[in-house]
Structure 1
Amino acid sequence: MAFNTGLSGLRAAAVDLDVTGNNIANASTVGFKSSRVQFGDLYANGFLSSGSAPVGDGVRVQSVKQSFGQGNISFTDSGLDLAIDGDGFFELNNGGEKRYSRAGQFGTDKDGFVVNNQNMRLQGYIADAAGNLSGRTGDLQIGSDNLSPQRTTDLRTDLNLDAREQVLTATPFDPLNPGTYNHVTATTIFDSLGNPHEATQFYAKRTPVNADSEWSLYVQIDGEYVGNTDAANPTAILEFDQNGNLTAPTNPLGTIPISDWTPVDQNGVANGAATGAGAAFNLDLGSTTQYGANFGVNDQRQNGYTTGRLSGLDVSQQGVIFARYTNGQSKSLGQVALASFNNTDGLSPSGDTSWVETFESGQPIIGRPDTGTLGAIQASSVEESNVDLSAELVNLIIAQRNYQANAKTIETSDAVTQTIINLR
């Protein structure tokens, strides 16, 4: 019996040495999770009985359990290096097989798919051409195509007209004569080809007819009148009440449709389209006020832009991958999906710092990062191995001592047997 007891101890100690050595070997492996050996004693027993021998039969390895504790997060210089701060696993497509990993060292292949070092494709929520995220998951792909231009459909101007200004008597309106208008502001808008055009707004205080105070608005694009035919007819009349609030035009308040603009190039030839459904664009002056303060443009923005090339990527804590373009625009390309399991310990390691689903783990629960129990994404970072190297070196000494002690048990048992054999 002593031989069997010692042999079981040797086998158990050898497994402990293997596991400890594997932990030490992967102390610098990104996303690695350390393991520990769980032992159980052995006692003889039979059917419907616990056995009568009080002396045990040795030890056995019950399981090798992995510790899924959080590893330290370190920064890198790669924008697609991702670390999970909290619960969850990256979902990977390995040629149709689903793998789950905490190693977030990603890049792109020749087709733009986000892949790890083994060319497993990262899974996530797919975005449409406009950058709207859907609830459908699949292989995340980063397109290198230029961002198509978008024509201006809305131009919003938020300003204050100085109520202390006097009504102008100089007529008619002349953009080259500052005496025919009180204030002017300009911004750039774009046609369907992404060509820039300068939209200029001139404001001239006039004698009120239908309100406490009125202003004439003249709009020119590239020096050409829009919304009217000549300088005698303003694009719109802005009406204000005694509190300085805009009251007209209405439907909706302060919105002026510009429908007679045709983009032309420097030679006066039509180039690019301005109109879609309805007006070429809407000039929104709904936030305009007339207070006794200096003229000032508080905000001016429009929704058009020229074409742009991909210049960089950003990943948010929610795992949304944003593409930055040279025209100053950005668009979401997708969102990283994370998987969690009811029993993480039930996952089966499959190599390459990844795991596969088993019956014991249960099916994966897919969700968006930083929601529910799922962790947040840290971009330009990786999760280091959670191996405590100092503790593993101590465990190595303990495993070696256990191995030597069990070998001593066998040696002693052999000496006793030899003594019996040598009896005369």
Structure 2
Amino acid sequence: MPFNTALSGIRAASTDLTVTGNNIANASTIGFKRSRAEFGDVFATSVLGAGANAIGSGVQVEDVAQNFKQGNVAFTQNELDLAINGNGFFVLSDQGTPVYSRAGTFGLDDQGYVTNNVGARLQGFQADSTGNISGISDDILIQTSNLPPRQTTLVESVLTLDSTEPVLQSTGRRFTTLGNVIGVTQAGLRDATTTNLTSNTFTLPLANDFATTPMTFDIQLSGASSGKNGTVSINLDIGEGVPATINAFNDLRTLTGVINSQIFSPTLPQTAIDVVANAVDYGGGVYGIEFTALQEGEGSQIQINTPSANMNQIGLNPATTSVAGIPAVDNGYPQQSVDFVDPDGDIVTYTALAGATAARTASEMNAIQGISASATTTATLSNLNSANDNLTVTLNSVQLSGDSLQALEAEINSLTNSTLPGISAALDPSGGALVITSAVGDDIRVSITSTDPGDSITVRGDQAAPAQILQVPPVSAGNYDADNNSIVVGGSIELTLDEGYSMQNAVPDAVGIFQPFTSDPADPEFTDVTLNAFDPTDQGTYNSATSMNVYDSLGVSHIMTQYFVRQEYDPNDPTTSPNHWVMHVQIDGRNVGDPDTSLPPPANIEPTLASFNVFFNENGTLNELLTEDMLISNWVVLDQQGNPTGAMGPQNVLAGGSIVIPEPPTSSNFVIELAGTSQSGTDFSVDDTDQDGYASGRLSGLAIDENGVIFARYTNGEGQPLAQVALADFTNQQGLQPIGNTMWAESFASGPPNVGTPQSGALGAIQSGALEESNVDLSEELVRLIIAQRNFQASAKTIETADQVTQTIINLR
């Protein structure tokens, strides 16, 4: 009957409409795979099969097949959104039941598990605490707790050392000044005085009328060290600017101004002299004029000559005598010259000026090629006698308040970085003497004041020379300086001559900072000394250096610095080798080498400089056979103040430390490896550095690569693999059973899953921050919808036609 055939067509068209409608409905469903209704015709059969003229019985739905074609990949910028580029399914656990999906809309649940939007957990291969991924599949768990710290056990450095670097270390000669005035206490005035001539006093107004009676006189300066000696004639009348009458102090100041203008601009051929006139108001209506030399501390003389008759009105006459200036006390060093000879025989003469400090002389010598100099000054204070604690000590113009040697020690040391730069103090073991040192060789100047007569202090410089006593003289009252006023102690200089340099001028002045000396190599005044010996604080003693952070057991970072020093090679010296360097290592600027047990206590337990020999082959590669193993085995972890931090301590070689570091580590020891380091004719460079320690950190982000490895980033700058996403494939994907929520379950028809890692075998790659969209093509589905609708209408038309035929048959009579 055609009715059954038409009904099967309607049912098939309806199924096609339903499948197409489902595809259209899921056009925006992530990971959805479109379906296709597949039909087959129906024939009535017998035992012997259908006849040659058999008519079909309609249509039936044979399968609703899914199309697992790749959908478009849309980027979302969400790291946990995943898409599979290629073959495979995400493996999920839905409350213990394994299911599979292409939808990668993942996030974290409250326990840190990676789940999809219906709570199924993503499966993968979890990593251990060191980041090694295992082969056991399980729920992927993202640990959001802090990453515990890890101490450094291995440092890897790949460097390029410059083969053209010079050998810095050499042998020079050292000389210490031992002149017979070094450290000898020099006593004298604390402050220099100036030559002055004071007139007799007078009152104002003056009786003289300068309009009718000018005053004239000559002023003479002699013995001035400046060289501006001579005589200047002075003419005081109204034509030169002097008031006709001198009635008040301002008039007197005008008069001295006229005198000064003529002193400084005399009538030729006279020349200016170094003298100045000042008007003085002594109070009580008494006045005077004072002439003063411009240079202080010189023993010059000022004289008044050939005065006119009325000169006595301003207190000047030839009988007036000047008081010569007195220089301030200095270190007593005379002017001396020495000669320095360079390797080419050229001579540089250096002259140390009279009274120059050792610091200045050393500084000037440092400017000479091939010469380095340093200076120190030492003075000792003792026998401080202050009857009523009124004694005040002044050190290098700084007034101190301490009333005992102990108090002075603390006060001086508190000022060493401010008003007393470079000066320190230390009590001797007996407590009876205070040793004051200027580390740069400045003069040490001591003076005292007190209101109590007899207060005193003893000052000694050179221990082989006599001491001097500053003492307040017996007076009735008032605050007075000590008798000698001030004592100055000068310093000594240590000179180092580079290799090939020498000193001559065999016999300097017998009295001075330099003692008589010769350049004879056998002269005990000169000693051989290693120059540019490694000093981490002096960049001139090492060729190259690099620093990096290492971590203690508490996760605290410390700065490890590697210094490289090129070693000398002499083909005639079998103890030297070509292409030889030494690497020195310090942590936080402190030594970390094993102690030298041959030294006397307590030095035999102190860390030494960690040094390792590094050798290169002729082609510049590292000679691993000769290069030493590099174990840092004496790192005592200290804070910035030098106190232990409580972090794990070292195990030095004598105590069993070795380059095999256990895991977990049991000491602060770590190994340095230079594999890949080379030597070439290029500038020093750091090609790669790495170390395996880090501080504690918090999770700050995730990254997932195309192999599905989930990589965690932490706030301490570290990263660590947490897990690797697992993918599954099936022999017959069409056999998978859809279970909704864009997931499928394994079935007998699909076969068992083949689980592996992304990009292994036939499995695709993972794209992080992206989702695979539905593979539904709307235009195609709409066409299919039209076709299904027409098929439905056509089958319905078959029923309508069959009905009309049936009615016609029924109506036959």
Task: Name which of 571, 587, 599 aligns with 1:221.
Answer: 587
Deviation of 1:85 (Å):
1.2
Aligned to 1:329: 718
**CA distance in structure 1 between the aligned counterparts of 2:713 and 2:127, rounded to whole angstroms:** 15
CA contact (8 A) 2:591 2:610 kept: no
**CA distance in structure 2 between the aligned counterparts of 1:394 and 1:233, rounded to whole angstroms:** 84
Mark the runs of 5 or more structure 2 residues left unpaired by the alignment.
Answer: 171-530, 570-574, 596-605, 651-664
Deviation of 1:124 (Å):
1.0
**CA distance in structure 1 between the aligned counterparts of 2:21 and 2:607, rounded to whole angstroms:** 87
The code of the aligned residue for 2:166 comes to: E
Aligned to 1:168: 169
| 1:375 aligns to 2:736 (yes or no) | no
Aligned to 2:808: 419
Aligned to 2:637: 263
Aligned to 2:117: 117
Deviation of 1:369 (Å):
1.0
CA contact (8 A) 1:246 1:288 kept: yes
Aligned to 2:705: 316
**CA distance in structure 2 between the aligned counterparts of 1:174 and 1:256, rounded to whole angstroms:** 20
Task: Name which of 593, 601, 612 aligns with 1:236.
Answer: 612
Taking the TM superposition and a 5 Å limit, the aligned residue runs for 1:61-100 are 61-100=61-100
**CA distance in structure 1 between the aligned counterparts of 2:739 and 2:120, rounded to whole angstroms:** 13
The code of the aligned residue for 1:330 comes to: G
Task: Name which of 280, 304, 316 aligns with 2:669.
Answer: 280
Residue by residue over 1:179-234, the C-alpha shift from the partner in whole angstroms, topping out at 9 and shown as x without a partner, is 43333332221111111111123333444534235444432211211215589966
Aligned to 1:393: 782
| 1:145 aligns to 2:145 (yes or no) | yes
**CA distance in structure 2 between the aligned counterparts of 1:156 and 1:278, rounded to whole angstroms:** 19
Tell which deviates more after alignment, 264-273 or 347-356. Answer: 264-273
Aligned to 1:13: 13
CA contact (8 A) 1:79 1:314 kept: yes
Q: RMSD in angstroms over aligned alpha carbons?
A: 2.4
Task: Name which of 542, 559, 563 aligns with 1:202.
Answer: 563
Aligned to 1:25: 25
Q: How many residues align?
A: 422
CA contact (8 A) 1:182 1:203 kept: yes
TM-score norm. by structure 1 comes to 0.92
Task: Call closer, same or farther: CA 1:418–1:237 in 2, change over 3 Å.
Answer: closer
Residue by residue over 1:73-112, the C-alpha shift from the partner in whole angstroms, topping out at 9 and shown as x without a partner, is 1111211111111111111111121111111111110111
Aligned to 1:193: 554
Aligned to 1:211: 577
Task: Say which SS state the counterpart of residue 305 (structure 1) adopts.
Answer: coil
Task: Call closer, same or farther: CA 1:346–1:292 in 2, change over 3 Å.
Answer: closer
Deviation of 1:254 (Å):
4.3
TM-score norm. by structure 2 comes to 0.49
**CA distance in structure 1 between the aligned counterparts of 2:720 and 2:609, rounded to whole angstroms:** 41
Residue by residue over 1:272-299, the C-alpha shift from the partner in whole angstroms, topping out at 9 and shown as x without a partner, is 2254357711222354445444443333
Task: Say which SS state the counterpart of residue 21 (structure 1) adopts.
Answer: helix
Tell which deviates more after alignment, 161-170 or 259-268. Answer: 161-170
**CA distance in structure 1 between the aligned counterparts of 2:547 and 2:563, rounded to whole angstroms:** 9
Taking the TM superposition and a 5 Å limit, the aligned residue runs for 1:100-111 are 100-111=100-111
Tell which deviates more after alignment, 300-309 or 279-288. Answer: 279-288
Task: Call closer, same or farther: CA 1:151–1:344 in 2, change over 3 Å.
Answer: same
**CA distance in structure 2 between the aligned counterparts of 1:342 and 1:204, rounded to whole angstroms:** 65
Task: Call closer, same or farther: CA 1:38–1:308 in 2, change over 3 Å.
Answer: same
Aligned to 1:351: 740
**CA distance in structure 1 between the aligned counterparts of 2:779 and 2:43, rounded to whole angstroms:** 35
**CA distance in structure 2 between the aligned counterparts of 1:86 and 1:246, rounded to whole angstroms:** 46
Task: Call closer, same or farther: CA 1:389–1:235 in 2, change over 3 Å.
Answer: same
CA contact (8 A) 2:33 2:67 kept: yes
Task: Call closer, same or farther: CA 1:6–1:183 in 2, change over 3 Å.
Answer: closer
Tell which deviates more after alignment, 85-94 or 281-290. Answer: 281-290
Deviation of 1:386 (Å):
1.0
Task: Say which SS state the counterpart of residue 63 (structure 2) adopts.
Answer: strand
CA contact (8 A) 1:92 1:98 kept: yes
Deviation of 1:56 (Å):
1.7
The code of the aligned residue for 1:236 comes to: F
Task: Call closer, same or farther: CA 1:233–1:392 in 2, change over 3 Å.
Answer: closer
Task: Say which SS state the counterpart of residue 561 (structure 2) adopts.
Answer: strand
CA contact (8 A) 1:44 1:51 kept: no
Task: Say which SS state the counterpart of residue 136 (structure 1) adopts.
Answer: strand
**CA distance in structure 2 between the aligned counterparts of 1:104 and 1:373, rounded to whole angstroms:** 19
**CA distance in structure 1 between the aligned counterparts of 2:624 and 2:76, rounded to whole angstroms:** 56
The code of the aligned residue for 1:366 comes to: V
Deviation of 1:26 (Å):
0.7
Tell which deviates more after alignment, 296-305 or 353-362. Answer: 296-305
Identity of counterpart residues, as a percentage? 50
**CA distance in structure 1 between the aligned counterparts of 2:57 and 2:615, rounded to whole angstroms:** 99
Task: Say which SS state the counterpart of residue 28 (structure 1) adopts.
Answer: coil
Aligned to 2:133: 133
CA contact (8 A) 2:735 2:747 kept: yes
CA contact (8 A) 2:593 2:632 kept: yes
The code of the aligned residue for 1:394 comes to: V
Task: Call closer, same or farther: CA 1:101–1:256 in 2, change over 3 Å.
Answer: same
CA contact (8 A) 1:257 1:279 kept: no
Q: Which has the higher contact order (CA 8 A, sep 6+)?
A: 1
Mark the runs of 5 or more structure 1 residues left unpaired by the alignment.
Answer: none
Deviation of 1:167 (Å):
3.7
Residue by residue over 1:14-66, the C-alpha shift from the partner in whole angstroms, topping out at 9 and shown as x without a partner, is 11111111111111111111111111111111233325762221111111111
| 1:159 aligns to 2:183 (yes or no) | no
